Structure 1
Amino acid sequence: MDHGGAETFDLLGFSLGAAVATRLAALHPDRVERLILVGGFVSGHDPRSQLQFRHWADLAKRDPASLARLMLLTGFSHAFLAGIGDVESVVADMVASSNWQGIGRQAELDFQVDVSQDLANVRAHTLVLGNRYDQMVDPRAAIKLANGISGATLEWIEGPHLALMEAPMSVADLVTQHLHD
């Protein structure tokens, strides 16, 4: 934003990006006007998150195809996956086109994240979008985010963690509404 000359801006973060956006909004409360957190979490320290993210980091190193399958299984709904057809070709494309070292590093960062101390410092007009059928991030994490940020609004997407890909118009409608409030 500095390079682009923007003094103030709106910010959207998804999943781990929601933690990054939260930290930025807390560190720069005078610059972030509107904040949107989608499928985010406060901390990766709970036992389930630790298990999941360590498993992802391990699979990213040893067996990217298995991690790709796991991400599809837990990221999308049954109905969405049923409509894909040849899932193994999607897995092959993911394996061939993804940076698995980077994905492994991201998973390692996921289990270290903790923005709990940042929540009280966020001043932006905030919308938290929880994914009601999320299998990657506990949907209760959205409640914790919204409760920790003064004045935040919590809305629910009737979808999985990857609702941004599965139901983009539902997400876009909520985002657009928030940006025009």
Structure 2
Amino acid sequence: MPQLRSGGATLAYTDTGAPPHRPDAPTVLFGHGLLFGGWMFRPQVTALRDRYRCLCLDWRGQGVSPAARDGYDMDTLTLDVLNLLDALGTGPVHYAGLSMGGFVGMRLAARHPDRVRSLSLLATTADGLRPRRARQFRQLAVVHRLVGLRPVRRRAAALAFGATFLDSPGSGPVLAEWERRVRQGSRTGVARAARAVADHPPVADELHGITAPTLVLVGAEDVSTPPADAERIAARIGGARLEVIAGAGHTPTLEQPGAVSRSLRDFLTEADQHP
């Protein structure tokens, strides 16, 4: 995978390049959630790469990006995104972020509106984490750094995926890949990222500054950032569209990949026509 140096960190990313028949195609940049990497958008990249250049960035210490000494806060991750866009010369992008990727996306669109063609927010919140949920992430960070994923696997899976998906026989390969990738990644990096997620400040007061066309997607079974969080985001962004994905929890891109891909494709088609 290609790499970028940003603020002392090494970041891995994937880049499909422009479609052969669309050399000037717009770029879609995907930002993943905690305990994942850009791979969680693989179904959406497959669905969109015939019309868009698709980039997936692995945050510091997650996916295949090595652990960085610092810079796991959402403001620094937003600067990492800007550095990637500058390095690749993409111009304004369609940004799609899930969970912590959404934390970054809201900051990016509110503070740098000229860099964002459209904004898709999946399974995220603008209000910060509730105290109980924040404690869970801090505990997960400590345990995972000391002994790995196994002792907290069941709890982490329940936060990451919905009950319908977890009870489905077809979930096995996805869960196996998720667990394998988490185990192969940096324990230190994941622990630092989990603490940053637990402690990240709200961004709700900045949402009025978002002018890009916005899609807000949430799984009906999401217990980490439930539909009420998505409703508040949509209400604060002028003209935002809210969609609830049935049968999905906090990782709808993998739980209901077809539904998410169709929603994104339809939304991006409309956004491309936005003046």
Do both share a fold (TM > 0.5)?
A: yes
Aligned to 1:9: 93
Aligned to 2:29: none
In structure 2, the CA distance between the partners of 1:128 and 1:62, relative to structure 1 (3 Å rule), is same
C-alpha displacement at 1:78, in angstroms? 3.7
CA distance in 2, matches of 1:142, 1:85: 28
CA distance in 1, matches of 2:175, 2:261: 29
Q: Give the counterpart letter for 1:110 in structure 2.
A: V
Q: Give the counterpart letter for 1:100 in structure 2.
A: R
Tell me the SS of whatever aligns to 1:160: coil
CA distance in 2, matches of 1:60, 1:73: 16
Tell me the SS of whatever aligns to 1:155: strand
Give the one of 67, 81, 103 matched to 2:166.
81
Structure 1 unmatched runs, 5+: none
CA distance in 2, matches of 1:90, 1:111: 25
Give the one of 249, 253, 256 matched to 1:160.
249
Aligned to 1:100: 187
C-alpha displacement at 1:133, in angstroms? 0.3
CA distance in 2, matches of 1:155, 1:123: 19
Give the one of 54, 62, 67 matched to 2:152.
67
In structure 2, the CA distance between the partners of 1:148 and 1:49, relative to structure 1 (3 Å rule), is farther
In structure 2, the CA distance between the partners of 1:171 and 1:103, relative to structure 1 (3 Å rule), is same
Q: Using CA pairs below 8 Å that are at least 6 residues apart, which structure has the higher relative contact order?
A: 1
Give the share of equivalent positions with the same residue, in percent. Answer: 31
Tell me the SS of whatever aligns to 1:11: strand
C-alpha displacement at 1:7, in angstroms? 2.3
C-alpha displacement at 1:45, in angstroms? 4.2
Aligned to 2:234: 146
Q: Give the counterpart letter for 2:154 in structure 1.
A: R
Tell me the SS of whatever aligns to 1:73: helix
Does 2:115 correspond to 1:31? yes
Aligned to 1:178: 267
TM-score if structure 1 supplies the norm length? 0.88
Asked if the contact 1:9–1:31 (Cα under 8 Å) also holds between the matched residues in 2, the reply is yes
Tell me the SS of whatever aligns to 1:6: coil
Give the one of 36, 46, 66 matched to 2:130.
46
TM-score if structure 2 supplies the norm length? 0.60
Q: Give the counterpart letter for 1:81 in structure 2.
A: L
In structure 2, the CA distance between the partners of 1:22 and 1:85, relative to structure 1 (3 Å rule), is closer
CA distance in 1, matches of 2:226, 2:179: 28
C-alpha displacement at 1:91, in angstroms? 8.0
In structure 2, the CA distance between the partners of 1:36 and 1:18, relative to structure 1 (3 Å rule), is same
Asked if the contact 2:163–2:221 (Cα under 8 Å) also holds between the matched residues in 1, the reply is no
C-alpha displacement at 1:93, in angstroms? 2.7
Query: Superposition RMSD on alpha carbons, in Å?
Result: 2.4
Structure 2 unmatched runs, 5+: 1-84, 271-275
In structure 2, the CA distance between the partners of 1:88 and 1:30, relative to structure 1 (3 Å rule), is closer
C-alpha displacement at 1:116, in angstroms? 1.7
